[in-house]
Structure 1
Amino acid sequence: MNRIDRASRTISAAPAAIYDALLNREALEAWLPPDGMRGRIEQWDPRPGGGFRMVLTYLDPSDSPGKTSDATDVVDVGFADLVRPARVVQTAVFRADDPAYAGTMTMTWHLAAAGDGTEVTVTATGVPPGIDQAVHEEGIASSLANLASYVEPGD
């Protein structure tokens, strides 16, 4: 089966502003971790062929044990393709001993102008089988909501 996890959201910001938030270290630390997690970037190289390592820490690990340790997920993310301001393609590899989380997942962020905002669609392919699809899609949607809060102008 060719599994594709997907989530999308219209965000009231220009594609360039969203693209910039996808390639800014401080921005990613602020909005990328889904609800229930916080993130820290340890390595940073924002160019095609570069990437970053993010340590995601569960605020309540009893609810969702980590893939790398009891309370963390460590993921090495590569920038496979950067097309300003339309697309960011990332490869993600979890650091985990459990083979159910092995493999390289590809996350593609499509940014399309939509009226005064941007339709952001995230598709994930090659998702390790240990990652529940519904939970993953909920996490992507949570990150998109955080992204919207981060880039949308305040009242």
Structure 2
Amino acid sequence: MANSKNSVRLHRVLRAPAERVYKAFLDPDALCRWLPPYGYLGKIDRIDPKVGGGYHMSFTNFSTGHSHSFQSNFLELVPSERIRIADKFDDPGFASGMTKTITLREVSCGTEIEVLHDGLPSAIPAEMCYLGWQESLLQLACLVEPEIPGGQ
């Protein structure tokens, strides 16, 4: 649910260990699979998964081919507990100092995840960001929840 016009907060419980959820935020192939909302393809052209590092990613609308890119920088990485990321769109029309804080907590059935996305540019309605995050978190669940027998 939106906190204000430029901030959204989401909460979910995933049937997966925190270590696996955390890994999905740092692995480029995983990010491309779960982060883009429905109808978008993700591509990462560079990544450095450490504090002070980051990644450059583009989302491309599969139907129209239109894409937008952004730089994400890791501000804080506490394995299996917390991730803070600063995002900046390449398009100066979307200028904003966005931050995402992802908090993970082990619970009896898996991992509780809380996402706080602050500093949305005025060009992006909070409800659209919230909708995109809902889709992304469903895709994240599809990636991290399966227990594949034999590790194959």
For normalisation by structure 2, the TM-score amounts to 0.89
Give how far 1:72 is off: 0.6
1:121 counterpart SS class: strand
1:26 counterpart SS class: helix
Q: Where does residue 10 of structure 1 map in the other structure? A: 13
Q: 1:10-45 CA distances to partner (integer Å, 9 max, x unpaired)?
A: 110011110011111111111111111110000110
Q: Where does residue 115 of structure 1 map in the other structure? A: 108
1:127 and 2:127 are equivalent in the alignment:
no
Q: Which amino acid aligns with 1:148?
A: A
1:135 counterpart SS class: helix
Q: Write the distance in 2 (CA, Å) between the matches of 1:44 and 1:7.
A: 25
Provide the alpha-carbon RMSD of the alignment: 1.6
Match of 1:93 among 88, 99, 108: 88
Q: Where does residue 74 of structure 1 map in the other structure? A: 69
Give how far 1:96 is off: 1.0
Q: Write the distance in 2 (CA, Å) between the matches of 1:96 and 1:85.
A: 32
Q: Where does residue 84 of structure 1 map in the other structure? A: 79
Contact 1:8-1:144 within 8 A present in 2 as well: no
Q: Where does residue 66 of structure 1 map in the other structure? A: none
Give how far 1:114 is off: 2.0
Q: Which amino acid aligns with 1:93?
A: K
2:69 counterpart SS class: strand
- Runs of 4 or more off by more than 2 Å in structure 1? 1-4
Listed as ranges, the gaps of 5+ residues in structure 2 are none
For normalisation by structure 1, the TM-score amounts to 0.88
Match of 1:35 among 35, 38, 42: 38
Q: Which amino acid aligns with 2:106?
A: A
Listed as ranges, the gaps of 5+ residues in structure 1 are 62-69
Q: Percent identity?
A: 32
Q: Which amino acid aligns with 1:58?
A: N
Give how far 1:97 is off: 3.8
